[in-house]
Chains A and B, each alone.
Chain A
Amino acid sequence: AQSVTQLDSQVPVFEEAPVELRCNYSSSVSVYLFWYVQYPNQGLQLLLKYLSGSTLVESINGFEAEFNKSQTSFHLRKPSVHISDTAEYFCAVSEGNQGGKLIFGQGTELSVKP
Chain B
Amino acid sequence: ETGVTQTPRHLVMGMTNKKSLKCEQHLGHNAMYWYKQSAKKPLELMFVYNFKEQTENNSVPSRFSPECPNSSHLFLHLHTLQPEDSALYLCASSQERSRFEAFFGQGTRLTVV
Contacts and interface: CB of A to CB of B under 8 A. Distances in A.
B82 to A, nearest CB: 23
Interface residues of B, number: 29
Nearest to B100: A99
Interface in A86-102: 90, 92, 94, 96-102
Interface of B: 4, 6, 31, 33, 40-43, 45, 48, 50, 56, 90, 92-107
B52 to A, nearest CB: 15
A98 B101 contact: no
Given A42-B106, A46-B101, A96-B98, A101 B48 contact: yes
Contact of A99 (B4, B6, B40, B94): B94
Given A43-B107, A105-B42, 19 more contacts: A36-B104, A42-B107, A43-B90, A43-B105, A44-B104, A46-B103, A51-B99, A90-B43, A92-B43, A99-B97, A99-B98, A99-B100, A99-B102, A100-B94, A100-B96, A101-B56, A102-B102, A103-B42, A103-B45
